[in-house]
Amino acid sequence: MSWFSRLLAPPLCSDPVPLRQSMQGKVVLLTGASFGIGAALAVRLQAAGARVLLAARSEMELKQLGEHVYPLDLRDPASVDEVAAAVLRDHGGVDVVIHNAGKSIRRSLLRALDRPHDFERCMGVNYLGPVRLQLALLPSMIARGSGHIVNVSSVGVRLPPVAQWAAYLASKSAFDHWLGAAVPELRRHGIRCTSVYLGLVHTRMSAPTKEYASLPGLSADEAACVLCRALIRRPRSLAPWWLEPLHWLGPILERPLEWFPF
Ligand SMILES: NC(=O)c1ccc[n+]([C@@H]2O[C@H](COP(=O)([O-])OP(=O)(O)OC[C@H]3O[C@@H](n4cnc5c(N)ncnc54)[C@H](OP(=O)(O)O)[C@@H]3O)[C@@H](O)[C@H]2O)c1
């Protein structure tokens, strides 16, 4: 990690004890567990003694990570319903749901004129699928009077709109907003919600944007460390220190950004 990356997001994973204390014996449903941040997080949580239910489309990758494998396509409502039912049947419920699966598309509007599916796919993976999954799991969490829902989000949803990221950021913002609106009701039932706003992470997702390769960012494992911190402390939100000042500067930055096509 360069000194600049370290300044943007200091490493947080030095002591494994608090994670073990928080997660040992917990049943954790982790979406997007097959690659990137999810795979790194699965390894850490299993080492900490959690029973991690691994969900994504790539069954082979999931099987290499652990034994509780749930093939899931968030864009397919039947697949979401099936996984929710199987999880409840196999484990009786979950203590933690980590909505980590995600799809990103960076494409200019004029290159997307014949691609309405770009928007539908992002909405399916980043918003509609996670909402459907969470709705199916909520009754059991409410009955237990406890639980933790973690939304793996992006700093982009807290900043002014950026050219070319419409499909991704609109769908990530939708889930962030949905969860925010659910917080007051869920709090009354003992369910905590955390939104984690990540900056650039060097994974399969960010790799196609060549311009990002040389920018400072976290590795998948460093991002998993950030999520471990969220699981230990269960704050309402977790973000790099620089996000809040930039968020408040948003109204000032918005107009100049409209002239900057990226
Ligand atoms: N990388 C970044 O710079 C960055 C920055 C901010 C936030 N994030 C967020 O971090 C999370 C993880 O991203 P990552 O960087 O680790 O990306 P990644 O390596 O591409 O992993 C994405 C995960 O989502 C799963 N997924 C994709 N489509 C799916 C579908 N239809 N149904 C079920 N699962 C699906 C993938 O598994 P399968 O292909 O096997 O289904 C994979 O496990 C995402 O929510 C992303 O928005 C990433």
- The string of pLDDT tens digits covering residues 120-134 is 999 999 999 999 999
**Binding site membership of 203 for ligand 1 (Cβ less than 6 Å):** yes
pLDDT band at 227 (very low <50, low <70, confident <90, very high): very high
For residue 48, is it within any domain? yes
Cβ atoms of 96 and 28 within 8 Å: the answer is: yes
Dihedral in degrees, nearest 10, Cα atoms 59, 62, 68, 73 = -50
Q: What is the pLDDT of residue 3?
A: 64
pTM over 0.85: yes
Q: Which amino acid is present at 39?
A: A
Cα angle vertex 129, ends 165, 203, to 5°?
50
For residue 244, is it within any domain? yes
Q: Is residue 212 among the annotated active site residues?
A: no
Taking all residues of the chain, what is their mean pLDDT, rounded to a whole number? 94
Number of domains in the chain: 1
> Rounded distance, CA 234 to CA 148, Å?
8
For residue 10, is it within any domain? no
Q: Which amino acid is present at 261?
A: P
Task: State which of 92-101, 103-112, 200-209 shows the largest mean pLDDT.
Answer: 92-101
Which CATH number belongs to the domain containing residue 229 in this structure? 3.40.50.720
Residue 262: is its pLDDT beyond 80?
A: no
Residue 187: is its pLDDT beyond 60?
A: yes
Q: Which domain holds residue 85?
A: 16-258
For residue 2, is it within any domain? no
For residue 1, is it within any domain? no
For residue 132, is it within any domain? yes
Cα 197 to ligand 1 centroid, rounded to whole Å: 14
**Binding site membership of 156 for ligand 1 (Cβ less than 6 Å):** no
Residue of 127, 168, 197, 212 with catalytic role:
168
What DSSP state is assigned to residue 48?
A: T
For residue 160, is it within any domain? yes
Cα 38 to ligand 1 centroid, rounded to whole Å: 7
Cβ atoms of 144 and 91 within 8 Å: the answer is: no
Q: Which amino acid is present at 110?
A: L
- Average pLDDT value for residue range 95-107: 97
**Binding site membership of 157 for ligand 1 (Cβ less than 6 Å):** no
Cα 167 to ligand 1 centroid, rounded to whole Å: 15
For residue 11, is it within any domain? no
SS3 state of residue 158: helix
**Structure tokens of 162?**
């950026």
